[in-house]
Amino acid sequence: MAHTDAKVAGLLGPLSTRSAAERWLTRLAAALVSAGAYLLFIPWDTRNRATAAHPYDETTPVTGLGVVLLGVALVLLAAYIGHRDHVAWALLLVAVPPSILMFVSFSSHPEQDVSLWPLAWAFFTAIMAGAALVAALVGGGLRTRTEA
């Protein structure tokens, strides 16, 4: 039982007490998980553009469930990073990778909707960053005094 407790403490303990390699590998894994969650839950299907009747129909096949699942995944990841590391890392590791992928997705659309995507990108990036910040602060608040 003590061996299991030590493993859990290792997965939840502060990264500041870990080696530099472990800190950076954990951060890299978090960035990959956030990018992977975006790619998994927000599909990017460019095949629908050839048959689109109107420029405003040229969207990715995003579902409400996909958006909710992405939000849950990113909030949980941000809380985990906020619990183990500094809050600023949660913003960089959780909000930036999906924001970059969204920028690439939006900027690949034809020129007809170019007037709307920068505003949508900025809005959704702000939402992701705000949610990541709040979740990281909550995760950081769950640390015990001895961990901080």
Is residue 132 within 8 Å of residue 94, measured between CB atoms?
A: yes
Query: Looking up tokens 């048959």, which residue turns up?
Result: 51
Over residues 105-122, the mean pLDDT reads: 73
Over residues 81-105, the mean pLDDT reads: 91
Higher-scoring residue by pLDDT: 61, 91? 91
Higher-scoring residue by pLDDT: 114, 118? 118
Higher-scoring residue by pLDDT: 131, 5? 131
Of the listed ranges 38-47, 61-70, 112-121, 129-138, the one predicted with least confidence: 112-121
| Cα 90 to Cα 94: distance, rounded to the nearest angstrom | 5
pTM (global) more than 0.85: no
pLDDT for 129 equals 95
Residue 65: burial class (beta carbons within 10 Å; 0-12, 13-18, 19+):
exposed
pLDDT for residue 47 is more than 80? no
pLDDT for 30 equals 94
